[in-house]
């Protein structure tokens, strides 16, 4: 790979350390191993931020929906956790590395990319369990941390794809296939511009 195309990705911590995950998502080390092996074989550097759920509520927390995390205090906590990783991203970009993408986690209320309609528990609050048959018009939001990250990237003029690691999807599912295809596209070197493709500035 060309020195001009050294690549990095930003990922949520549980993709490197599955023990951070709340138990309902499972501590799937084989999937994390697949992801990390793929990135390192491609010579892609990895920046991770600390898990906002673990650092706010510890390892013994109960599963919750996005609704419970959507508050001023948790959002402020997420912003604090992102300060150093964002500085690292900016330092790499300053030194001509390429940020290929952000990788979040499927069905995470904090780090998911497509949080759709979820079931309501007996207390009348959102549960971490998605609706079995979501409607076409149901809103789809990012997890709280992913949403804040998107806002910070927009502020810094950083435009990269947000991918969602499909940890809950079947290995042969379209979601899993699409994720690996999108990741391959994101981390592949940009082909050098051919002379005939250069636009005449005049």
**What does the H/E/C string look like for 50-94?**
CCHHHHHHCCCCCCCCHHHHCCHHHHHHHHHHHHHHHHHHHHHHH
Q: How confident is the model at residue 1 (pLDDT cuts 50, 70, 90)?
A: very low
Residue spans per domain, the chain? 3-191
Mean pLDDT of the chain: 88
pTM of the model: 0.87
> Is pLDDT of 193 > 60?
no
Highest mean pLDDT among 25-34, 88-97, 166-175: 88-97
């Amino acid at each position: 790979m060309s020195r001009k195309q050294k690549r990095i990705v930003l990922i949520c911590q549980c993709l490197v350390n599955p023990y951070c995950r709340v138990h309902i998502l499972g501590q799937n080390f084989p999937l994390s191993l697949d992801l990390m092996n793929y990135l390192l074989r491609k010579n892609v550097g990895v920046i991770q931020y600390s898990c906002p759920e673990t650092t706010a509520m510890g390892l013994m927390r109960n599963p919750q929906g996005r609704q419970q995390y959507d508050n001023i205090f948790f959002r402020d906590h997420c912003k604090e956790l992102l300060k150093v990783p964002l500085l690292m991203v900016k330092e790499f970009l300053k030194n001509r590395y390429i940020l290929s993408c952000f990788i979040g986690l499927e069905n995470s209320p904090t780090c998911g990319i497509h949080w759709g309609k979820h079931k309501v528990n007996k207390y009348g609050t959102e549960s971490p369990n998605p609706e079995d048959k979501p409607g076409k018009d149901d809103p789809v939001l990012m997890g709280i941390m992913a949403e804040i990250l998107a806002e910070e990237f927009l502020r810094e003029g950083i435009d990269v794809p947000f991918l969602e690691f499909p940890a809950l999807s079947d290995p042969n599912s379209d979601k899993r296939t699409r994720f690996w295809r999108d990741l391959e596209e994101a981390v592949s070197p940009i082909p050098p511009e051919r002379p005939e493709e250069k636009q005449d500035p005049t």
